[in-house]
A and B are shown apart, each in its own frame.
Chain A
Amino acid sequence: MVKKGTWVRIHKIVLKPSERAPQVPEDTKRVPLEMWVKGFLLQDAELGDEVSIETVTGRTETGTLVEVNPYYEHDFGKCVPELLAIDKQVREILFGGEEQ
């Protein structure tokens, strides 16, 4: 069980595919407009429950409980060897005495 007051992330469908704006391209029209918001859980709940949260600005938002103590996983990416080749090239052109 997730305790009231826990920092969580919720998910909600804002617009169903049928409610999407007319100017939206076809591929986007086939999917809903989804939303994720974080806040403090307002009642004890289980993952997947419909819950209410209070956000850091004090707003109440409702949605499906999807994450407890959410955190970021973005990083500096995997090795891109081309970047090493660029480093080598610009240094050689500038400092390596390459004939221009």
Chain B
Amino acid sequence: MSKARDYQSVMARKAEIMLKSTGIDYSKFESGSIAFDYERMMREIGYTLEEIQKIQYSVNVGNTPVLELKNLTALARKCAPEGKGARIFIKDEAANPSGSFKARRAANAVYHAKKLGYKGVIAATSGNYGAAVASQAAIAGLKCIVVQECYDSKGVGQPEIVEKARKCEALGAEVVQLTVGPELFYKFLLLLEDTGYFNASLYTPFGIAGVETLGYEIAMQFREKYGQDPDAVVCTNAGGGNLTGTARGLLKAGASTKVIGASVNLAGLHMASDSQFNRKSFTTGHTGFGMPFSTWPDRSDVPRSAARPLRYMDRYVTIAQGEVFYITEALASLEGLEKGPAGNTALAAAFSIAQEMDRDEMIVVQETEYTGAGKHVQAQLSFARENGIEIFFGDPAEEVPGKNIILPSHPSLIKARDVYLDHMKKSLIKTAVNIYKTVPTEEDIVFLAEETKSSVEFVREVLKSL
């Protein structure tokens, strides 16, 4: 008898479909309460750093160059107080086969899928990850389906997502395109069930372990070239995997580098709104993912996300859309490097943060992404203007997402704005208690302290205030 295919019935089979499509029995890491054994999950399901390096290097992923941005550093120093202005570097992840750091996550996921005997892989993503999975599946000889949220109800596609669809198809994948809505997950589950393919989720332990090499490489490259670890690394933060993997890699290298998350500020825009879908100029790296996924990582497409950014974040800043576009153009104009805007979120933040740091310090932006039709700064600004977004020079602090994009009238107006991390930590603890509807055990309290990079005392204080 064939299974029911309506929305409710398919969603009710979620756990069963996930188990079959990831091969991971998440239940064995559960405590039965809020806590689960994160490190054991990473150890038993993931791969060692050495194994990952071997997997990635065998498919031409990783070992990307670190570039010093001397002219951008000089520009930051022109805007900074006397003696300030750290040296700014980028790790040119666009040099990976699919044009972004996501190749690292995909290499591992696809390797694992092939090892387990799956005939194909499926990824639900509107971002660079789709092209990364398509690229790796092509190398492995596996079939690949990418499910995208791409259009609004008028059939207008976000140019950046349309470009990613093109790239996926160019790399041999089938692309299933949908209009706005979280029910994408329903179609995703149906596809997993119908095909029996592997769920190349962004949030499995192997996906996140795949990014650890990025952090590790940064430490090794800096030690070799400059004789020391960088002082700070800035990671564009959305689902949290980029930051989590990079931070874990730095820790594995024994580096004490400060880890800073940066997201484009899209406050006020609803991510599942049809009418607001094409009023944002960033499809990832923004607060619409960054905030909810940091304060509750287990909202992803697997039962327990391996991306848990609040465990590793020393600081979290937001940056305005206009600031990222400005810095993207400045990168082309002053450094001769054309890169995609979304990947430059952390760069815009680093340009500002460098001005707080001393001149002999070093700050690294740990990714770049490819650019092209649809993904280019001009394509995005032009599309925004056609959608009624006002674009003008002024103070980006006054930008209202969905209404305008304010390009800084002078680079000195580019300012990373701090998010109060304690609020986010409290939010995570509160959500945990609400979701599990339980009085936290001693084990839960220790777990929540680890989850929030805080202390048992901090967790107790928060629990008392609830």
Q: Chain A interface (Cβ within 8 Å of chain B)?
A: 14-15, 19-21, 23-25, 27-28, 30-39, 55-59, 72, 74-80, 82-83, 85-87, 89-91, 93-94, 100
In the complex, the answer to whether B195 meets A93 with C-beta atoms within 8 Å is no
In the complex, the answer to whether B183 meets A15 with C-beta atoms within 8 Å is yes
In the complex, the answer to whether B273 meets A93 with C-beta atoms within 8 Å is no
| CA distance in complex: A9, B407 (Å) | 39
In the complex, the answer to whether A27 meets B274 with C-beta atoms within 8 Å is yes
Interfacial chain B residues near A78, Cβ < 8 Å: 378, 382, 385-386
Of B70-78, B90-98, B198-206, the one with at least 4 CB within 8 A of chain A: B70-78
Interfacial chain A residues near B177, Cβ < 8 Å: 35-37
Q: Given B155, B163, B174, which contacts A59 in the complex, CB threshold below 8 Å?
A: B174
In the complex, the answer to whether B7 meets A57 with C-beta atoms within 8 Å is no
Residue of A nearest to B333 (CB): A87
| CA distance in complex: A28, B391 (Å) | 27
In the complex, the answer to whether B382 meets A80 with C-beta atoms within 8 Å is yes
Known: A57-B195, A94-B71. Contact between A87 and B183, CB under 8 A? no
- Tell me the smallest distance from the CB of A5 to a CB of chain B, in Å: 17
Known: A72-B166, A74-B159, A78-B382. Contact between A91 and B334, CB under 8 A? yes
| CA distance in complex: A39, B175 (Å) | 10
Query: Across chains A and B, which 7 residue pairs bring their CB atoms closest together, nearest first?
Result: A77-B382, A31-B153, A74-B374, A77-B379, A28-B274, A57-B143, A87-B333
In the complex, the answer to whether B144 meets A90 with C-beta atoms within 8 Å is no
| CA distance in complex: A18, B181 (Å) | 14
B302 within 8 A of A: no
Interfacial chain A residues near B381, Cβ < 8 Å: 77, 80, 82-83
Q: Given B169, B194, B326, which contacts A86 in the complex, CB threshold below 8 Å?
A: B326
New A-B pairs, 18, CB < 8 Å, besides A37-B176, A76-B373: A19-B6, A21-B182, A25-B272, A32-B153, A34-B151, A35-B178, A38-B169, A38-B175, A58-B143, A72-B162, A74-B159, A77-B378, A77-B380, A77-B382, A79-B382, A85-B393, A86-B407, A89-B411
B284 within 8 A of A: no
Number of interface residues of B (CB under 8 A): 65
| CA distance in complex: A20, B173 (Å) | 28
Known: A15-B183, A21-B182. Contact between A37 and B174, CB under 8 A? yes
Interfacial chain B residues near A30, Cβ < 8 Å: 274
In the complex, the answer to whether A90 meets B174 with C-beta atoms within 8 Å is no
In the complex, the answer to whether A93 meets B78 with C-beta atoms within 8 Å is yes
- Tell me the smallest distance from the CB of A74 to a CB of chain B, in Å: 4
In the complex, the answer to whether B373 meets A74 with C-beta atoms within 8 Å is yes
Interfacial chain A residues near B374, Cβ < 8 Å: 74-75
Interfacial chain B residues near A23, Cβ < 8 Å: 182, 272
Residue of A nearest to B332 (CB): A87
Known: A28-B180, A33-B179, A59-B174. Contact between A94 and B407, CB under 8 A? no
Known: A15-B7, A57-B145. Contact between A75 and B195, CB under 8 A? no
Offer 29 A-B interface pairs, CB within 8 angstroms, sorted by A: A14-B187, A21-B181, A23-B182, A24-B272, A25-B272, A25-B274, A28-B272, A28-B273, A32-B153, A33-B179, A34-B153, A35-B178, A38-B175, A55-B174, A56-B174, A57-B144, A74-B159, A74-B162, A77-B159, A77-B379, A77-B382, A77-B383, A82-B381, A82-B392, A86-B329, A86-B407, A94-B71, A94-B78, A94-B334
B377 within 8 A of A: yes
Query: Which residues, 248 to 290 on B, are CB-close (under 8 Å) to A?
Result: 270, 272-276
Residue of A nearest to B191 (CB): A59
Interfacial chain A residues near B379, Cβ < 8 Å: 74-77
Interfacial chain B residues near A93, Cβ < 8 Å: 75, 78, 411
B326-365 toward A: CB 8 Å interface, digit per residue (1/0)?
A: 1001101110000000000000000000000000000000
Residue of B nearest to A34 (CB): B179
